[in-house]
A = this chain, B = another copy of it.
Amino acid sequence: MTTNQNDTEEKIKEAAQRIFLEKGYEGTTIRDIAEAAQINTALTNYYFRSKEKLFWLVYESLLKEAIQSVQAILDKPIPMEEKLMGLIDHMFETQAANPNLSMFLMNECRRDPKSFAEKTGVGCHLLEGGFIQQFQEEVEKGTVTNVSAEHMLPLIFGLIQQIFVGRELHMHLFQVDESEFLTFAREQKRIIKDMLCTYLFKK
């Protein structure tokens, strides 16, 4: 009748992810997580041994998911323009659904770069796929403006991220609520797509 093992473990993991995303590692206490998961404080240590182990479980999961979903798009066998627009749409929706994700990943990377490099070990697999090659091919074909993919890809990531990274700042500076911000964000996305296409895919 009551909760079984997996139930409690999952409840803690979900609550931990929510609170860590909102407040970061240092801003989050075990008691915050326990309260959010409606369980006893000691249970987090019973199931995950330590706050740090629980954190890295959440962190790696989020990072891996983010990277894999982007990788899947970058490796699609479709034209560059369609691919980049798809990438922008995907990142936009991802971050609209979870506005804290970008800031969280970048903050925690900055807080403990060493552990980040060690534990993720992701390297730059993102660029090891066929994306760079495809980009350069289309540059040589003349269908894409002559810039390096290594500079363009982070720029595109940043273009979408910046919308949501400045979310709270924007909402409070301009006194708008979440739905108004989302309208603003979608118009920004449209402009970004427009600008990027104008620059990269001159016709």
Contact = CB atoms under 8 A, between A and B. Distances in A.
Interface of A: 23-24, 26-27, 103, 105-107, 109-111, 113, 116-117, 122-124, 126, 147-148, 151-152, 154-155, 157-159, 161-163, 165-166, 168-175, 184, 187-188, 191-192, 194-196, 198-199
Contacts of A148: 187
A168 B109 contact: yes
**Can you tell how many copies of this chain the complex includes?**
2
Contacts of A106: 103, 165-166, 168-169
Given A165-B165, A169-B106, A174 B124 contact: yes
A19 B111 CA distance: 12
Leading 8 A-B pairs by shortest Cβ distance: A158-B162, A195-B199, A110-B168, A162-B162, A26-B27, A109-B169, A117-B172, A26-B26
A10 to B, nearest CB: 27
Contacts of A184: 151
Contact of A170 (B123, B154, B171, B172): B154
A99 to B, nearest CB: 10
A161 B168 CA distance: 15
Contacts of A105: 169
A162 B111 CA distance: 18
Contact of A172 (B103, B116, B194): B116
A158 B151 contact: no
A198 B105 CA distance: 32
Contacts of A172: 109, 113, 116-117
A191 B148 CA distance: 10
Contacts of A117: 172
A161 B171 CA distance: 17
B155 A158 contact: no
Contact of A158 (B24, B163, B168): B163
Contact of A195 (B163, B173, B196): B196
B191 A151 contact: yes
27 contacts: A27-B111, A106-B165, A106-B166, A106-B168, A110-B168, A110-B169, A113-B168, A116-B172, A117-B172, A123-B173, A124-B174, A124-B175, A151-B187, A151-B191, A152-B191, A154-B170, A155-B162, A155-B188, A158-B159, A158-B162, A158-B163, A159-B159, A161-B162, A162-B162, A195-B195, A198-B199, A199-B199
